[in-house]
Chains A and B, each alone.
Chain A
Amino acid sequence: MKKQYFSQLDETIFFHTLDNGLKVYMLPKQSNKTFATFTTQYGSIDNTFKPLNQEQVVTVPDGIAHFLEHKMFEKPDGTDVFHDFGEQGASANAFTSFNRTAYLFSSTSNVDKNLNTLIDFVQTPAWTDESVEKEKGIIGQEIRMYDDNPDWRLFFGLIENMYHHHPIKIDIAGTVESISHITKDLLLDCYHTFYHPSNMILFVTGPIDPEHIIHLVEDNQGKKDYTNKKAIEHVFPDEPRRVAKSESILHMAVQTPKCLIGFKEPKPYRSGKELMKHEIAVNLLLELMFGRGTERYRTLIDDGLIDESFSFEYTEEYGFGFSAIGGNTEQPEQLKQKLREMVINFKNETIDTKSFDNARRKRMGSILRSLNSLDYIANQFTRYKFNQMDLFELIPELEKLTIEDLKQTLHEHFSEEGFTSCTVLKK
């Protein structure tokens, strides 16, 4: 077992890779609860691949990674694992994103049992034809719930505009139609391809003893017969740099229209330090352009183009990346033009040291704040690791960044060909 101390944050990470390839990271904390996530590097974008021990590349129905997450909770005796966690005083949950599926629990007692339960249930597929059919009704309602959520629809509308082919444009839960094609065997193909321990990370934080945890995990895995496995063969389509559509409009039961603009990242193939630096840079640029302390924000508020729902974010994972800026607005068309114009003008301005320093300080505070939460640390630590980065190196990297670094990113990311917008109007 190795350990790494991050002096500025006063945190120590312990880690070990098991013989079967499973990576285990542990962060001792003086909290009441222990929080653990068991995450596979598999999400909605992994829809075209060569299933384990098969010869042909297949494309699986939209929404299957998320469907699989639901079915994992079923046990061989037909009951669900929530009961086991409940008995052991733990609350459990799971989520599926573009490229990860995470299973988690938190508890203030019976940590050893809960950890075994977590690992075991994710390593025991037990669904039947009948239970798969039944799940379609439940997930159908989950999809309907999102159909009524204007912010979700807006966000996905923006992504759909950006991408021609990349499966990022698929809604994570799929559609009622696409999930109707999901079968027990298709789920098993996905499971066996992507849930091998070598494709997964276990993260445990709380009042724990790392030696003890590693022992427990090794014991648990030692009883299971995982052989070495070939690398997963994925297929991702070639994606042009230009957006697929430069605008779109949705109609929903809303009172206030909404508008998002966004830029598609032209080279989303970074990892490690390079990715971290790029992410920090885009985030700082967004803050410098549209942060609440800026003149631009004031103008937008005073002109009645935005309200306090206005926000911005940047997302990048291997193969895709985009910024999104906007919120509720009474005048979506004007807002869209104005935001676009502001970005273009910003490219010709100089970034002054004071604003840069303030934006950087703000970011530091916000990183520290997010590290208050064990849930956040577990989810993000894993995400950073899957991209060969260290969550706890964010602050030192931020301190290293210069105005020159920003300039390069500014011209690269905020490009004319990468621009699109999505609007929600009253039905």
Chain B
Amino acid sequence: MTYIQEKVTSIGGLTSHLVQTDKFKTNTLLLQFRAPLEEATVTKRALLSYVLKSATAKSPTSQELQSRLDYLYGATLSSSLSKKGEQHIISFVMTIANERFLSNEQELLKQALSLLGELVFDPLVDEHAFDSKTVGKEKRALKARIQSIYDDKMRYASQRLIDEMCENEPFHLHTYGYENDLDSLTPVDLFEYYIKMINEDAVDLFMIGQIDEEKIIPELERIFPFTKRVEKLEGIQNQETTFPNQERVIKESQPIEQGKLNLGFRTNVRLGDPLYYASQVFNGLFGAFPHSKLFMNVREKNSLAYYCSSSYESFKGFIIVMSGIEFSNYEKARTIIIDQLSDIQNGAFSDHEMSLTKALLKNSILESLDNPFSIADILYQQVASGVKFTIEEFIDGIENVTTKEIVEVANQTKLDTTYFLQGAVKTN
């Protein structure tokens, strides 16, 4: 049994990925633009993702565009920004009802694809500039989005950890850009960059659902006339290995109720590396699940936290720990977290814990195939990394991890930065 039925087609500068499945009641479309993550372009790209999804030449206001979406049985259209390692990704996402489930049949998918093409190839422009009113409005929207991070303390702490830990690597750059760079961006600047992006970005289209391949694929060339790319973006293979020189501790104060303690570790094991699967299992033992060492010790045994977990950033080779604790428990919690790593380094885990972890990793990748966005993410991760694997290979890879390999990963895992967001410092 093949888990994902993917058909890849190259059409000029576009790579189309068609995943045929009848699991869903809607069809999902993702158009993704990928370029190096760079300080000079990060805010431009962020703003562009907002401007392009808010109007087109045919529908010059958000309201007109929204009415068209509503009429298409509440099709959704959104844009988002993310990073895969040191690549900056703009995604335009549409979901559209599968007409099979509606009394009133129409060719919804084709209309949705055309609309997606229209966003990118027929934007609202005035000579060689984007419409200035739209740009002004979307600047405000993006600014609000950037500022909102501060109000979500868990996300704020995560962002601050990466700011500090990766200050000398492009990875620290915020996918939504920077408020200070936003003001000076003009509609002309933005249009210039748009032309560059349309011609140079790596572009992938994912179509997931019940899709009439023979009808749809021939339409793509007309809807998405991307020219052939001259340069190909590199994957993640030739990244330097970096080790922290010395552990750093950053503390910050705000008038909050709970301390957010985040720790950043470097394993230097990335997707495609021989120890990749061992890193997944290591992270599972350490903190990804409710049976993991962090949950069992920080939460269950010592009642210090409600959440304490780790996640594996596989493009950079990081393990990131997040937790929420009483301010006064900082030392105690930090010590216990670090002790859990030492335990794994010393091989202090059972075969039982290891097999449990493997079973859950296997379960989580299989479950993710029941969600259209997770399917797209699994495939796109491979595109962005240049590392190919099937679901079967992933499962085998996890199965075959040995105790020795886990200990090896643990021993090359070094604490880099500790970030602690604490309560207001009292002054007399």
Give A residues with C-beta under 8 Å from B: 8-10, 29-33, 80, 82-83, 86-92, 106-109, 134-139, 141-142, 144-145, 147-150, 252-256, 291-295, 297-298, 301-302, 304, 307-309, 328, 358-359, 361-366, 368-369, 371-374, 395, 399, 427
Distance in angstroms between the alpha carbons of A222 and B70 in the assembled complex = 51
Question: Known contacts being A148-B153, A253-B254, A364-B73, is A88 close to B359, with CB within 8 Å?
Answer: yes
5 additional A-B pairs beyond A82-B290, A309-B148, A359-B70, beta carbons within 8 Å, are A33-B366, A87-B356, A109-B363, A362-B73, A365-B74
Distance in angstroms between the alpha carbons of A149 and B257 in the assembled complex = 10
Whether the pair A362, B70 counts as a contact (CB closer than 8 A) is yes
Ranked nearest first, the 9 interchain pairs of A and B with the lowest CB-CB distance are A365-B74, A137-B303, A362-B74, A293-B66, A307-B144, A144-B258, A142-B306, A89-B359, A365-B73
Interface residues of B in 48-97 (CB under 8 A from A): 61-63, 66-67, 69-76, 95-97
Distance in angstroms between the alpha carbons of A65 and B166 in the assembled complex = 43
Chain B nearest CB: distance from A42 CB in Å? 22
17 A-B contacts (beta carbon < 8 Å): A31-B23, A82-B289, A86-B356, A86-B357, A109-B363, A139-B306, A148-B153, A149-B153, A253-B254, A255-B147, A256-B144, A256-B147, A291-B66, A293-B69, A295-B63, A328-B144, A372-B24
Chain A nearest CB: distance from B48 CB in Å? 16
Distance in angstroms between the alpha carbons of A139 and B103 in the assembled complex = 48
Question: Known contacts being A8-B103, A144-B257, is A361 close to B70, with CB within 8 Å?
Answer: yes
**Most chain A CB neighbours (cut-off 10 Å) among B24, B257, B289, B325:** B257
Whether the pair B98, A30 counts as a contact (CB closer than 8 A) is no
Give B residues with C-beta under 8 Å from A: 3, 22-26, 61-63, 66-67, 69-76, 95-98, 100-103, 137, 140-141, 144-145, 147-148, 150-154, 254-258, 289-291, 299-300, 303-307, 324-326, 352, 355-357, 359-360, 362-364, 366-367, 369-372
Whether the pair A32, B137 counts as a contact (CB closer than 8 A) is no
Whether the pair B103, A399 counts as a contact (CB closer than 8 A) is yes
Among A33, A254, A301, which residue has its beta carbon within 8 angstroms of that of B151? A254
Residues of A within 8 A of B69 (CB): 293, 362
Chain A nearest CB: distance from B324 CB in Å? 5
Number of residue pairs A-B, CB distance < 8 angstroms: 200
Distance in angstroms between the alpha carbons of A108 and B363 in the assembled complex = 6
Whether the pair B75, A253 counts as a contact (CB closer than 8 A) is no
Whether the pair A368, B26 counts as a contact (CB closer than 8 A) is yes
Whether the pair B97, A368 counts as a contact (CB closer than 8 A) is yes
Residues of A within 8 A of B22 (CB): 30
Residues of A within 8 A of B290 (CB): 80, 82, 86, 92
Residues of B within 8 A of A304 (CB): 140
Whether the pair A309, B144 counts as a contact (CB closer than 8 A) is yes
Chain A nearest CB: distance from B423 CB in Å? 10
Distance in angstroms between the alpha carbons of A308 and B25 in the assembled complex = 26
Whether the pair A373, B371 counts as a contact (CB closer than 8 A) is yes
Distance in angstroms between the alpha carbons of A295 and B67 in the assembled complex = 11
Instruction: Return the chain A residue nearest B21 by Cβ.
Output: A30
Residues of B within 8 A of A147 (CB): 257-258
Residues of A within 8 A of B153 (CB): 148-149, 253
Whether the pair A369, B363 counts as a contact (CB closer than 8 A) is no
Chain B nearest CB: distance from A344 CB in Å? 22
Chain A nearest CB: distance from B183 CB in Å? 16
Whether the pair B305, A141 counts as a contact (CB closer than 8 A) is yes
